[in-house]
């Protein structure tokens, strides 16, 4: 009796359920003149006892961001520490997959290469590390120092260049770690948007760093990946190289899912949702914007706006590779004094020396204020209590705001907004018009991008490569066949 009922119920629902699963599998595919990446958050969803990791990551990153970057080519890019989000790139002929950290503050793409000294061999992220082997790729070639890349990309001559010698690079970071090697050029394969949740293959010949030696944190991190993909503004970045070749425009967006991990990362003009923007500060190595003030529950903090120009960088840095948010001391103190206004008798305690924490059993969005940042051109950015508060134990919450003067290696105060502020928002970087913008958004949903060739708008969805991988046509065909067979058995 039970089997008859189950069989009849499966006849009605089974094929529909399997087809819905198929739709979800197809939804993995992305990418026309718009390129989409699967993105995975390095730490997954926020929460849990990860404060040591987050703090150490941000501390290393700040040291690197503020340090001078030394390219032998005379480059002015400033690659930073590995970002919190990574994606999968396919490189070479035959193609091989590489997991690289997505970094909006870096200017080059580099991967670990065969024969690399002190390159990591294992990762705790659940991915297999792969070394790029130039000799094993039929489409790969060395970039020599007498080629245009060495002068054009970095706007400087290559000293002591011998014809045919490799175009070398060396990056030394603020915490003493480094990567060095030489540039190569090879095909990088992308998913190009060709319809709603449909893609076609696209490749571009891209110059990237082949890391032959590493030191410090880069060579010893247990949360290792195969390299870094830089989405900075310099001519050497991947998006700049693709734009020069006419394959894309210099516009990209990310939507980082702060709850579930993963999200959306795409090259292309976003047409839905609509995004309001603010100008980028010119001649800065990072994505800097002009902050006008901060409001707590709609009331402005009593602070001079000139304080946001403190330090060597002008304006406020927007950086998806930093976990927390860092404010100058006077701003930090003023903000912290207002956060507890609704809870005057709630005692706080320090965790790990600098995180102000407390025990609270109520709903944090009801008990603590909303913080709003105001920028030039009337662009605002709202941060809710559930964004800036971390639950580290049962009913124990910690505040994510940090004093930047106490965090940077050289003690300089900066204003830097990381994932604490940027998660669960679509952030659009328009380098064509030198602006950046954002809007609150469900990063587990989808966005629409415009195909510049046809003028059509296409939908692309969110992804999380920790739980799903790209499905090729053979696997998809086999899955459809399995559905057909099972449905016939249930008739």
pLDDT more than 90, % of the chain: 35
Spatial distance between the Cα atoms of 349 and 443, rounded to a whole number of angstroms: 33
Q: Which residues have CB under 8 Å from 299's CB, separation 6+?
A: none
Q: Which residues have CB under 8 Å from 309's CB, separation 6+?
A: 315
Query: Which of residues 398 and 414 earns the better pLDDT score?
Result: 398
Query: Which of residues 109 and 17 earns the better pLDDT score?
Result: 109
CA geometry: angle at 110 spanning 105 and 116, to 5°? 135
Distance of CA 396 to the CA centre of its chain: 29
Closest to 225 measured CA to CA, from 124, 293, 314, 132: 124
Q: What's the order of all strands across the beta sheet hosting 299-300? A: 299-300, 291-296, 371-375, 379-383
Across 167-176, 368-377, 392-401, 402-411, which has the greatest mean pLDDT? 368-377
Query: Which of residues 221 and 25 earns the better pLDDT score?
Result: 221
- What is the C-alpha R_g of the chain? 24
Query: Which of residues 154 and 80 earns the better pLDDT score?
Result: 154
DSSP 144: B
Tracing tokens 């294992």 back to the chain, one arrives at 122
Q: How many angstroms separate the Cα of 162 from the Cα of each of 68, 71, 154, 159, 335?
A: 27, 18, 18, 9, 57
Q: How many angstroms separate the Cα of 267 from the Cα of each of 14, 428, 455?
A: 38, 10, 16
How many C-beta neighbours within 10 Å does residue 126 have? 8
Q: How many angstroms separate the Cα of 288 from the Cα of each of 123, 259, 292, 356, 414?
A: 32, 26, 13, 28, 11
3-state secondary structure of 52: helix
Residues marked active site are found at: 103, 319
Burial 131-162 (b: 16+ CB within 10 A, else e): bbebeebeebeebbbebebbbebbeeebeebe
Closest to 207 measured CA to CA, from 230, 233, 179, 173: 230
Establish how many alpha carbons lie within 13 A of residue 270's alpha carbon, considering only the half-sphere containing its beta carbon: 29
CB 242 within 8 A of CB 34: no
Spatial distance between the Cα atoms of 357 and 364, rounded to a whole number of angstroms: 13
Q: In this predicted structure, which of 232-236, 251-255, 341-345, 435-439 has the lowest mean pLDDT?
A: 232-236
For residue 5, pLDDT beyond 70: no
Q: What pLDDT, on the 0 to 100 scale, is given for residue 346?
A: 94
Closest to 236 measured CA to CA, from 143, 327, 146: 143
Mean pLDDT over the full length of the chain: 76
Closest to 120 measured CA to CA, from 91, 97, 106, 99: 99
The tokens for 334 are 């003023």
Query: Which of residues 215 and 250 earns the better pLDDT score?
Result: 250
The tokens for 173 are 């970071």
Q: Which residues have CB under 8 Å from 160's CB, separation 6+?
A: none
Confidence class of residue 16 from pLDDT cuts 50, 70 and 90?
Answer: very low
Across 52-61, 340-349, 464-473, which has the greatest mean pLDDT? 340-349
> pTM for this one?
0.79
Q: Which residues have CB under 8 Å from 448's CB, separation 6+?
A: 270, 271, 272, 457, 458, 459, 460
Across 198-202, 247-251, 360-364, which has the greatest mean pLDDT? 360-364
Spatial distance between the Cα atoms of 126 and 349, rounded to a whole number of angstroms: 35
Confidence class of residue 1 from pLDDT cuts 50, 70 and 90?
Answer: very low
The DSSP bridge partners found for residue 450 are 269, 457
The whole-number average pLDDT for the span 192-202 is 78
Strands 396-399 and 251-256: unpaired
Confidence class of residue 398 from pLDDT cuts 50, 70 and 90?
Answer: very high
Dump strand ranges (E) for 20-121.
Answer: 35-37, 40-41, 85-91, 96-103, 109-117
């Amino acid at each position: 009796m039970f089997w008859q009922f189950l069989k009849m119920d499966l006849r009605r629902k089974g094929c529909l359920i399997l087809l819905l699963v198929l739709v979800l599998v197809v939804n993995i595919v992305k990418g026309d003149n718009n390129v989409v990446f699967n993105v995975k958050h390095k730490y997954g969803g926020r929460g849990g006892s990860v404060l040591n990791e987050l703090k150490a990551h941000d501390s290393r990153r700040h040291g690197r961001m503020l340090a001078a970057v030394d390219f032998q080519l005379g480059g002015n890019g400033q690659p930073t520490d590995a970002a919190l989000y990574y994606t999968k790139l396919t490189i070479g002929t035959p193609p091989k997959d590489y997991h690289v950290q997505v970094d909006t503050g870096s200017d080059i793409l580099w991967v670990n290469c065969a024969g690399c000294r002190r390159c990591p061999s294992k990762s705790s992220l659940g991915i297999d590390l792969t070394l790029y082997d130039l000799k094993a790729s039929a489409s790969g070639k060395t970039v020599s120092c007498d080629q245009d890349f060495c002068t054009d990309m970095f706007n400087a001559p290559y000293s002591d260049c011998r014809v045919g010698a490799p175009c070398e690079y060396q990056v030394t970071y603020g915490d003493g770690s480094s990567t060095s090697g030489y540039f190569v050029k090879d095909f990088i394969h992308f998913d190009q948007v060709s319809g709603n949740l449909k893609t076609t293959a696209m490749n571009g010949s891209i110059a990237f760093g082949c890391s032959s030696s590493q030191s410090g944190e880069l060579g010893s991190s247990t949360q290792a990946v195969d390299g870094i993909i830089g989405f900075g503004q310099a001519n050497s970045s991947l998006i700049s190289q693709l734009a020069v070749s006419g394959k894309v425009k210099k516009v990209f967006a990310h939507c980082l899912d702060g709850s579930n991990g993963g999200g959306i990362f795409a090259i292309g003009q976003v047409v839905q949702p609509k995004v309001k923007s603010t100008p980028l500060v010119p001649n800065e190595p990072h994505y800097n914007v002009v902050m006008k003030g901060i409001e707590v529950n709609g009331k402005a903090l009593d602070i001079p706006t000139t304080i946001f120009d403190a330090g060597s960088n002008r304006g406020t840095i927007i950086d998806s590779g930093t976990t927390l948010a860092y404010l100058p001391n006077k701003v930090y103190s003023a903000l912290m004094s207002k956060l507890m206004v609704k809870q005057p008798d709630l005692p706080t305690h320090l965790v790990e020396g600098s995180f102000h924490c407390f025990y609270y059993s109520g709903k944090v969005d009801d008990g603590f204020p909303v913080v709003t940042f105001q920028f030039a051109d009337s662009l605002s950015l709202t941060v809710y209590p559930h964004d800036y508060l971390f639950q580290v134990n049962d009913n124990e919450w910690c505040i994510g705001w940090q004093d930047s003067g106490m965090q940077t290696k050289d003690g300089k105060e900066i204003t830097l907004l990381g994932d604490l502020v940027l998660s669960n928002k679509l952030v659009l970087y328009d380098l064509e018009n030198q602006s950046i913008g954002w809007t609150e958004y469900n990063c587990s949903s989808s966005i629409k991008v415009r195909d510049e060739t046809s003028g059509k708008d296409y939908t692309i969805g969110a992804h999380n490569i920790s739980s799903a991988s790209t499905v090729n046509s053979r696997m998809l065909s086999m899955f459809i066949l399995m559905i057909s067979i099972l449905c016939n058995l249930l008739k």
